[in-house]
Amino acid sequence: MTLDISCKFRHSLRASDGHEKATCGLLQKLLLEHPDDPDSTCEVKRDACIACSRSRPVVSDLIGGPFASILSNACERKLQRLAVGTANFQHVSTLNQIADQAVLSPNGLKRAVTCDVIVWCGSRSSASHRSINSVLNQLLAETTVHIIIPESIEARSSAHDEELASHFGSRYDVRIHRLKHVMTPLQAVHELAPKLRSEFIALQDAAATSLPKRIESAINELRRHGADFIGSPLGTIFGDIDVPADPGSRFEPSIPWPTLVFRRATFLDLGGVSDRKEDADIELLYRAHACGAKIVSMPWATVQLDRPWEPAKCEAKPDYSMRFGSLRHHALGFPKVTVACDVVLPIYGQLDYVRPALESIMEQEDAEAIVHLVDDCGPEDVSELFRYWGSHPRVRLYRNQRNLGQYTSFNNVSDFFETELVAIQDGDDISLPHRLSVSGNLLELADGDYFAATMEQFGTADALPNRRSRFPQGAPSANYFAMNPTACFRVAMFRSLGGFADYGAHERNRCGLDTEFMNRAYHCERRFAVSTSVVTRHRIHAAAATQRSDTGFGSLLRNQADMEARRRIDLLRNSRMDPRYFGGLGNHRSLTQRLMPGAS
């Protein structure tokens, strides 16, 4: 049987030396100064085309994929025909190095790919077994399949459902769900999302088949872009259904829901689905886009549907109002719990700022904070502040023997944490009343380790935009992606990573350690839960660490800290080094003394 090859780059088929060959348009674009020029270096044999088309390579999938070998061979052939020293020679040489590294490093920088896949059996299909198996047999990805049998059609299709349950129900990686009052795939996701295990969720129609590397490619692309949602064109019996260039920007069908893969934490932060029935998928992407979620699409179909595609019919366009950067109040939402959280607040002068900062933490809604006040040997006397707050049942007092800085102070009081969560509080910032509730509940719902959100900047005459946290993009090397004034994380994670780093002399520990810590957490595969919510007001003033001449942006100390962070992250990216080695927990513990209640 002749296997058809579906590749939009393959053209000019011909026979040569007993083999079928074709010209690869992608190689032409990469290697030739004029892509339309005939050049035999871009010829590819049929068996190589078959392997490549099956893998459907995307940028994040180059490492270890068939296209890496094809590109490497083409570069070598091309270099033999180019004059050394020319611009095109240098260009092809660089491509050859990249391709060779990808071929020789099959594991590369890739992280494990795991995903919960919701298989919607809302309409019965003879292709159900093939559809489910296409998800269970994904290459380079571990999937847990959730077969959804809506109660509304269970009675008239019980034989089909029982056959599915009998065939797949005994597998460790399959769950059967008969959900009441669930009418759409996204309602099923809403029902199950807090109970799932992985960081990612994919949707699958029982009448569709996923290509072998759909999940792995989608998740690697989500990571490469730092994106929240990804989809692709949908292959149907009548041709591909393409995705608009800017999915989610308008209230109209965009990404076909059977191709969607997205971050579980993002879905939970959005409050899940709304109460809309017909256009739940359209509304979700529209609401996510309005909140600033990053939505991307792969260039080709990753899912083949065995019937014509019927996009949802749009109801009336929703009229939404933002609350602190979030639209979750327009969704069904999830149950909330009262959050218990430790908060560390080091004090180094600026007592006029410290008082409202402390009050903002003590007045949190739906949360109970244990505040660790640390006198970091600043220029102002904190006796009055300590006398006033020292007898409060949720305030703990400490004094450093000398100025240690925010991060070392945080390390030193970590032995005294009383809850499972801890939040950062700068002495010149204000926590909004919902901060700890949003942080703790999202960490709980998403099984997260590290929470970050959006902060509103204030304090200068110029209008300053909000700064929002994002999921890290690609394999970052000391990028600042989680706004530290919004951070809240699990105490167990903080301790397992060895706490904040120690760069040596105390002045070196006054800037950049937050960047090093968040990157160390990411490269050690701790789970981030990023929210669009504005949870903190970040004060900009001349004495702030980021503005001062000795520790601010562009200063010698900050540049040195950035260089050291990059060096450490590069080591973690390319080795299996224990991340606790870089932690500074316990290095200066003797320099911080806990004070008894009422001390000043």
In the prediction, which pLDDT does 570 show?
A: 83
pLDDT given at position 36: 67
- How many residues are listed for the chain in this entry? 600
Contacts of residue 238, defined as CB under 8 A and 6 or more positions apart, other chains included, come to 308
Please return the burial class of 55, using the count of CB atoms within 10 Å of its CB with bins 0-12, 13-18 and 19+. Answer: buried
Rounded CA separation 498/462 (Å): 39
Q: What is the pTM of this model?
A: 0.84
Q: Check if the beta carbon of residue 430 is closer than 8 Å to that of residue 539.
A: yes
Query: Among all chains, which residue has been given the structure tokens 């559809």?
Result: 131
Please give the pLDDT value at position 117: 98
Tokens 């059609």 sit on residue: 153
Contact 413, 387 (CB under 8 A): no
Tokens linked to 207: 């009448």
Check: CB of residue 316 under 8 Å from CB of residue 252. no
The pLDDT, as a whole number, for residue 107 is: 41
Give residue-wise pLDDT tens across range 345-385: 999 988 999 999 999 999 999 999 999 999 999 999 999 99
pLDDT digits (tens, 9 = 90+) for 454-481: 999 998 766 578 999 999 987 766 789 9
- Residues of the chain scoring pLDDT < 50: 1-2, 105-109, 153-156
CB 532 within 8 A of CB 269: yes
Which residues, other chains included, contact 222 with Cβ-Cβ below 8 Å and sequence gap of 6+?
200, 228, 230, 261, 262, 263, 296
For CA atoms 169, 170, 174, 178, give the dihedral sign: positive
- Looking at residue 553, its amino acid is F
Alpha helix ranges (H) inside 193-338: 214-225, 264-269, 280-290
pLDDT of residue 440: 98
Q: Give dist(CA 112, CA 471) in Å, integer.
A: 17
Q: Is 593 helix (H, G, I), strand (E, B) or coil?
A: strand
Residue (of 268, 449, 443) closest to 435 by Cα position: 443
pLDDT at 101: 63
**Rounded distance, CA 210 to CA 175, Å?**
19
Check residue 64 and give its pLDDT. Answer: 57
What is d(CA 362, CA 365) in angstroms, rounded to the nearest whole number? 9
Beta carbons within 8 Å of 148's beta carbon, 6+ residues apart: 118, 119, 120, 121, 122, 177, 179, 182, 185, 188
Beta strands, E only, 459-590: 467-468, 488-490, 528-539
Structure tokens belonging to residue 145 = 């399949």
